[in-house]
Amino acid sequence: MPYFIFINVLGLLMFISPVFSQSTIAQIDSINQIQYQYIISHLQESVTTFEKNVENSRNINYEYGEAVALDKLALALGISGAHDKANSAFLKAATIFEELEDYNKLSSAYGGYGYGLKRRNMTSANKYMRMGISIAEQYNLNQNLTTLYDNYGVLKLLEEQLDSAFYFYSKALGLKRQLADSVGIPYSLNKLAELFAAQGQYNKAFEYLAESDSIRSKEQGDFGRAENLAYHADIYQDMQDFDTAISYYKQAITKGIPLNYAYLVQYSYQQIAELYELTGNFRDALANQKQYMEYKENELNTQMNEKIAELEITYETEKKDRQLSEKNLALRNRSLQLTSAFLFILLISISFYIIYRNNKIKMTHKQHRMQLQNQKEQAELQQKLTEEKLQLSSELHDNIGSNLTFMINSLDNLTNSKNTANINQKLNSIGSFCRESIDDLRNSIWALKQDDGDTKLLILKVQELRQKLQKVITKPEIIVSDQTKNIIPINSTTMLNLFRIVQEGIQNAIKHANANRITLTWSETQDTINITIEDDGIGIDHKTLKYGNGLTNIKTRSKKLSGSFSIKASNPGTSIAIQIPKK
């Protein structure tokens, strides 16, 4: 080949190669844009599509496309019940996003995976949701936060933590309004409607749902309108208005079938069947149950046909290989077969005896080890129960017991007093003290239930304490600053003691500092969790400083956690510092 022809061909190949690659990347990105609604309505097809997209991305070393495809694949696999495969796909996607430093996709992946775990493992669901929220908040990913807050609200609703659910739904709605997210706003409105309905506030629920209907009436497709019809039906069902609920479910079916919205149609048929059964209309109940089963069977048949076609191809390939092997096998010498058979039987007999003898010995050792292990586990469990009982007894004695004693003495004094002036005021004071004692008991129970707690969950609880206090007092202003970068796991005992330390520190500053501002700062080092409580009040004099109950309790609880406690004058005011080991 002449030199100039070689150069021209090489140049043409260099030109075509990037064009072809870009075209492939565009195709991969286009497939990765498939929306959630389509995925949940075409699960088997979506699994096949995204598996192929993962393979195509790897073939051209397109890491971003591979990670997005894996994230979508994890969603489809999780909904279809293939949880182990979904978990593997998600972990691979998260690893790639982290390597690419794509925190937008990483936070979304953590949140989506956590949300998918809500029916199987609520502890893990909360863990991954908080990881997603933490990353999104750190990098101000407001668009991601709208979805993360909404879905975290769903988890709180499933845990029957209605106040927390309302808090996160409201945060999501506020962000969406700020971003003018007309697609996302109806979703938050529907969740708030569902929350109020669960509390029996149906008028409030319908107000939110009406606003959602108004926005979705302007959407191009019927997907959102179909979902809203089902929300109306759910609320009327809660209200025991079964006829209206049935009417709305039927409208949802009418809109859902053309959209191939399988989940919504199946759900609506099933709900109608149950409502007819409740009202004694067994004929219509049976008819709708049949519709539900027929629709579900059609969906399963579609998935089965796709799987059968795939298996047929595999079978034909294996069949040809097997036929070839059988022909080769027929050519073997018969005498060799007989000799092999004899040796095989002899070997099996010897092996069987050896295996039987070894298994018997292993079984004896295993039983002995199991007995020792059981004894050890029983002892550890008994020790843990004893420690928890002591902790609970101490908490109830120190806080609730002393509060009850104070209330009894106050009531006795009021009963024996001949002075009836201001009796209502005194009773109101005792009532307020009772409510504070109940709050203390609730906080103790909450903390002791957090076997798998962490610092982010504790800081959220402290934020709730701050909000309650600020409703009662206008001064000082209480500020909670979270400067931790990691989610640090802590057990229930540590959770309770840290919460009490913060509570004592804030209340001590409110009572004695005459401050305008109290700042509570959370931070961490490689080995410690640090809490600083600072105020800009009147300050302290170390020469005349006396430890009251508040400071004594803080010092005692810090010592229980193998931590350190210090107090010093700041400029102006006072600063309390606590350091607790992470392990």
In this structure, which amino acid lies at residue 201? Q
- The fraction of the chain above a pLDDT of 70, given in percent, is 76
Average pLDDT (123-131) is: 92
pLDDT of residue 357: 79
pLDDT of residue 350: 84
pLDDT of residue 435: 67
Structure tokens at 235: 């609320």
Question: Which ranges constitute the DSSP H helices of 331-422?
Answer: 334-395, 402-416
For residue 455, is pLDDT > 60?
yes
For residue 532, is pLDDT > 90?
yes
Average pLDDT (56-61) is: 92
Mean residue pLDDT across the chain: 81
> For 19-33, 196-210, 510-524, which range has the lowest pLDDT when averaged over its residues?
19-33
- Name the strand (E) or helix (H) holding 454: strand 453-454
Tabulate helix, strand, coil % of the chain (nearest 5).
75, 5, 20
Running DSSP on this structure, what letter comes out for residue 483? -
- 220-320 and 451-581 agree in CATH topology: no
């739904």: which residue's tokens? 169
d(CA 168, CA 190): 13
pLDDT of residue 473: 85
Structure tokens at 78: 């999780």
User: pLDDT-derived band of residue 251, with 50, 70 and 90 as boundaries?
Assistant: very high
For residue 318, is pLDDT > 60?
no
User: Per-residue pLDDT tens for 389-409?
Assistant: 566 556 655 566 556 665 665
Q: Which one has a higher pLDDT value, 271 or 398?
A: 271
CB within 8 Å of 490: residues ≥ 6 apart: 453, 454, 455, 458, 498, 529
Sheet with 477-482, side-by-side order of all strands = 477-482, 517-524, 528-535, 574-581, 564-569
Residue 184's SS3 state is coil
For residue 580, is pLDDT > 90?
yes
Average pLDDT (495-515) is: 89
Rg (CA), the chain: 33
What's this model's pTM, rounded to 2 decimal places? Answer: 0.46
Chain-centre distance for alpha carbon 533: 31
- Residue 273's closest CA among 258, 264, 285, 281? 285
For residue 565, is pLDDT > 60?
yes
- Name the strand (E) or helix (H) holding 564: strand 564-569
User: pLDDT-derived band of residue 15, with 50, 70 and 90 as boundaries?
Assistant: very low
Q: Which of 7-21, 227-241, 425-439, 568-582 has the highest mean pLDDT?
A: 227-241
Domain edges within the chain: 220-320, 451-581
User: pLDDT-derived band of residue 316, with 50, 70 and 90 as boundaries?
Assistant: low
For residue 3, is pLDDT > 50?
no
Contact 402, 421 (CB under 8 A): no
User: φ and ψ at 242, to 5 degrees?
Assistant: -70, -35
- Residue 36's closest CA among 78, 92, 2? 78
d(CA 229, CA 219): 15
- 564-569 and 574-581 beta bridge pairing: antiparallel
- Give the DSSP per-residue string, 77-141: HHHHT-HHHHHHHHHHHHHHHHHTT-HHHHHHHHHHHHHHTTTT-HHHHHHHHHHHHHHHHHTT-
d(CA 109, CA 531): 31
> For 24-38, 205-219, 477-491, which range has the lowest pLDDT when averaged over its residues?
24-38
d(CA 576, CA 564): 11
For residue 378, is pLDDT > 80?
no
Structure tokens at 537: 């009040």
Contact 205, 193 (CB under 8 A): yes
- Give the DSSP per-residue string, 495-552: HHHHHHHHHHHHHHHHHHT--SEEEEEEEE-SSEEEEEEEE-SS---TTT----HHHH
pLDDT of residue 232: 93
b vs e for 187-220, b when ≥16 Cβ sit within 10 Å of the residue's Cβ? bbbbbbbbbbbeeeebeebbebbebbbeebeeee
Contact 570, 532 (CB under 8 A): no
In this structure, which amino acid lies at residue 209? L
Contact 546, 494 (CB under 8 A): no
Chain-centre distance for alpha carbon 317: 44
User: φ and ψ at 279, to 5 degrees?
Assistant: -90, 0
CB within 8 Å of 246: residues ≥ 6 apart: 233, 272, 275, 276
């350091």: which residue's tokens? 579
pLDDT of residue 332: 67
For residue 105, is pLDDT > 50?
yes
Q: For the domain 451-581, what is the CATH code?
A: 3.30.565.10
For residue 531, is pLDDT > 90?
yes
- Beta-carbon-side half-sphere exposure of residue 552 (alpha carbons within 13 Å): 5
pLDDT of residue 541: 67
Please identify, in words, the CATH class of the domain defined by 220-320.
mainly alpha
